[in-house]
Amino acid sequence: MEFKYFAVNDVVPNEITIITKDLVPEGFNGNARARADCAEKVNVILEDLGWASAKAQGLKQPITSGPKFRMSEHILYILVDPGNCDGRGSVVGLLKIGRKKLFMWDLAGYQHEVEPLCILDFYIHESKQRTGWGKKLFEYMLKHQNVLPQHLAIDRPSEKFLSFLYKHYGLEHILPQMNNFVIFDGFFDSESALS
Ligand code: ACO
């Protein structure tokens, strides 16, 4: 995914860049004007990425957009292929996470109020799927958040994502819930997953 009016590498400087609600990449150096200009370009990137992700998941509206993201405490990891497009770089995908207060059932039938880290949106560009980019992005997030895959809650996972979680992390046994979130066996093993 490339953009006509700017080079991706000038806006999102690392292979994986972290963005929070000010829409300015972590570590960005520049004055107020440069920050505003950068945030505007990130907004354009999120617009395209958000729609591409929605389309890939068969949704009518994007889950991720600049205006929605600005009003959230979510964390976004943007993945770039810096060598693509004659060195201008191309955006490969996104992973959005955040904590949510949820009621979850364990296998014994007890309900718990928890606030786990949730996977809210995950997308790799069609041209790059099934070549390991998703794993690279997901692994980065796991290390950055110091979290194990079984301690995550997943918001409406697609079949592809379920297959991804099984292939790379052996996650298979879903604990049935009354909401749209999917959790796996092992979710309740750690206190740290619950707060
Ligand atoms: N069909 C079935 N399984 C798939 C597919 C597919 N078309 N694509 C990826 N996978 C799974 C498989 O387990 C695959 O292993 P295999 O090729 O040996 O069968 C594995 O993922 C490949 O791992 P990566 O290459 O690291 O994954 P990828 O870069 O493709 O990223 C992702 C995975 C994000 C699910 C990507 O395929 C994608 O963007 N899909 C479309 C959008 C989507 O479904 N996003 C998740 C929505 S749910 C949510 O966001 C909370």
Using an 8 Å Cβ cutoff, are 185 and 195 in contact? no
d(CA 118, CA 147): 11
Residues 14-25 pLDDT 10s = 999 999 999 999
Q: Complex ipTM, two decimals?
A: 0.99
Residues 140-189 pLDDT 10s = 999 999 999 999 999 999 999 999 999 999 999 999 899 999 999 999 98
d(CA 188, CA 10): 42
CB under 6 Å to ligand 1: residues? 56-57, 119, 121-124, 129-135, 154-158, 160-161, 163-164, 167
77, 120, 129, 168, best to mutate for ligand 1 pocket (most atoms within 8 Å of CB) = 129
